[in-house]
Amino acid sequence: MSRTIRVTVRGAFDNLSAPQQAELVAEQGEHDFLRTEYTPEGYLTYDLPARPFFTFRFAETADESEAGLAAAVVRAEEKAAAWMSVRGYATKNVTSQAVDMSAVPLGKRGRREASTKR
């Protein structure tokens, strides 16, 4: 059985050239930091004029083992690194955090919806 894992990869852009900065600022509307979206391909957010940091949010799946969770984190980190590399953006201070959604307690609305599906 697989479980849904949300992986957040955070870091900072490193030594961006003026053209790279201009490109990122021009595309900033597509990467709004106020949106929180977890997708299989990753959703990138940043607010470059304010700070040099970025956040990628990935929806991954993993088996029940701890190795499955670790593999999901590695896949997300690799996807983020590949996205940055293809565009020539150097990064630094990259960290990751994973949340197993099956371990997150349901809120009132979620419990109500789950009880009506039975």
Mind listing the pLDDT tens digit for each residue in 23-68?
999 998 888 877 889 999 999 999 988 899 999 999 998 888 788 8
Structure tokens at 72: 């999901």
Question: What single-letter amino acid sits at 98?
Answer: A
Beta strands in 1-118 (DSSP E): 3-14, 43-46, 53-62, 90-100
Q: Pseudo-torsion of CA 113, 36, 85, 19, nearest 10°?
A: 160
Q: DSSP assignment, residue 64? A: S
Whether the Cβ atoms of residue 88 and residue 15 lie closer than 8 Å to each other: no
**What is the predicted pLDDT for the residue at 117?**
65
For residue 96, what are its two tokens? 């990751």
The reported pLDDT for the residue numbered 5 is: 92
Q: Which two tokens stand for residue 49?
A: 């004029």
The pLDDT value given to residue 76: 96
pLDDT above 90 for 14: yes
